[in-house]
Amino acid sequence: MITTICLNPCFDRTVEVDSLQPGKVNRIRAARDDMGGKGINVAVVAGRLGLEVQCIGIMGENGANELSARMDRENLKHSFLTVPGRVRTNMKIVSMDGKGVTELNEPGADVDDKVLSAFFDLARRETENSDMVVLTGSLPPGCPEGTYRELLNVLKGKKCVLDNEGKELELAVKGAAPFLIKPNLHELQATLGIELRTMRTIRDAALLFIRLGVKHAIVSMGEMGAMYVSEDRTLFSPAVRVETKSTVGAGDAMIGGILMGYEKEKDMSRAFRYGMAAGAASVMTEGTQLIRREDFERLLDQVRIQEV
C-alpha cells in the first residue's frame, strides 16, 4: 500500500482563451473541472498505473461530498478530516496563443493545532500498512512553519517522498531527512537562493540535500529533462519528445511513475525511467486530466538514461 497526503485539496477549473488580455473582457472558448491537489494527483496516477494507493488529508466541509464522490468515481481510497470552510477552487487560464498558463490559486480552509494533531493521529493509523508515503502540495492557512517536518517525524520508519520547496523543504530535510525529494529546477533555485545554470551546478545543489541525509533526489527540468542524484550516482534523462497540451500536473505524474517503478524494480535509479515516462504522458493530456496508462506504456521504451 502507498499513501499520499493532501492537506489542501481543490477543484481545478481549467479555461481556454484565445489570448489572455489583463484588464479586459476575455471570452472563454472551453472549460473543464477536475479534482485537484498534488497529493490527490499523485494518487490518481499511481492508481491508474495499477498500484494499491490511498489518499488522506484535510478538506473544507463545503464541497467535501463532491470531492469525495469524484475520488470514489476514480476508485481512489481516501480518508479526510473535514473542517469549517470550503474546498478551494484553483483557476488555470490557458492562453491558446502560446503564452502559457496563468494560475489563480485560492488559499484553502483554515486549520488549527487541534485539527493538525487529529490529522497526525489519522496519518499514524492510515499509514500503518504503507511502505511508502508521499507528502506534497501547499499547506492550508493556519499550518505552522515546519509542518512537513513534523509529519515526517510522525511517519518515522516509512519511506517518505517529499515534493515541496522553500522553508518547508529546508526544515524537513534538516529535521527528518526524507527518502526522496523531487523539486523542479525553479523550486530548487528558490530554496537555495541561487541560480543553477549548468548540469554540474544542479548536481552539486542536489548533493547538498544528499549530504543532509536524503537518500535520493530527482530534479525535474521541464523541456531540459530531469536528473537523478544519490550518494554514489548521478543520472540524466532528456525529455521525451511528445506533443505538449498541458504541463499542469506533470510533476505529480512523475512521482506516480516513480512509485510504480520502485514497486516493480526495488531500485530508485531504475524507477527514474518510469517517472520520466509518466511525466511525458501527462503533458499529452489537456488541462488537469493527468495520465492515460496506454500513453505511459508506449513512452516507457523511449526514455533514455545516461550517467553523468
pLDDT digits (tens, 9 = 90+) for 217-273: 999 998 899 999 999 999 999 988 887 776 677 889 999 999 999 999 999 999 999
Question: At 136, which CATH number?
Answer: 3.40.1190.20
Residue 200 confidence class, pLDDT cut points 50, 70, 90: very high
- Residue 20 located in a structural domain: no
CB atoms within 10 A of CB 116: 21
- Residue 204 located in a structural domain: yes
- Residue 23 located in a structural domain: no
SS3 category, 306: strand
Residue 168 confidence class, pLDDT cut points 50, 70, 90: very high
- Residue 31 located in a structural domain: no
Instruction: Answer yes or no: 131 catalytic.
Output: no
Residue 308 confidence class, pLDDT cut points 50, 70, 90: confident
Residue 163 · residue 135 · CB < 8 Å: yes
| pLDDT score of 45 more than 70 | yes
- Residue 101 located in a structural domain: no
The residue annotated as part of the active site, out of 252, 267, 295, 301, is: 252
CA 116 to centroid of chain Cα atoms = 21
How many separate domains does the chain show?
1
| Stretch 91-110: mean pLDDT | 90
Could you give the CA distance from residue 282 to residue 275 in angstroms, rounded to a whole number?
11
- Residue 240 located in a structural domain: yes
| Stretch 21-50: mean pLDDT | 93
10-17 and 88-95 strand pairing: parallel
| pLDDT score of 287 more than 60 | no
Q: What is the DSSP string of 43-66?
A: HHHHHHTT--EEEEEEEEEETHHH
Give the tens place of pLDDT for each residue, 31-43.
989 999 999 999 9
Q: pLDDT value at position 223? A: 86
Give the tens place of pLDDT for each residue, 123-140.
999 999 998 999 999 999
- Residue 13 located in a structural domain: no
Q: What is the DSSP string of 205-255?
A: HHHHHHHTT-SEEEEE-GGG-EEEEESS-EEEEPPP----S--TTHHHHHH
159-169 burial, b if ≥16 CB within 10 A, otherwise e?
bbbbbbbeebb
- Residue 210 located in a structural domain: yes
| Residue span of the structural domain in which 204 resides | 2-8+37-86+109-307
| pLDDT score of 161 more than 60 | yes
Residue 221 · residue 238 · CB < 8 Å: no
Residue 102 · residue 20 · CB < 8 Å: yes
Residue 230 backbone zone (phi > 0: left; psi -120 to 50: alpha; other: beta): beta
What pTM was computed for the model? 0.93
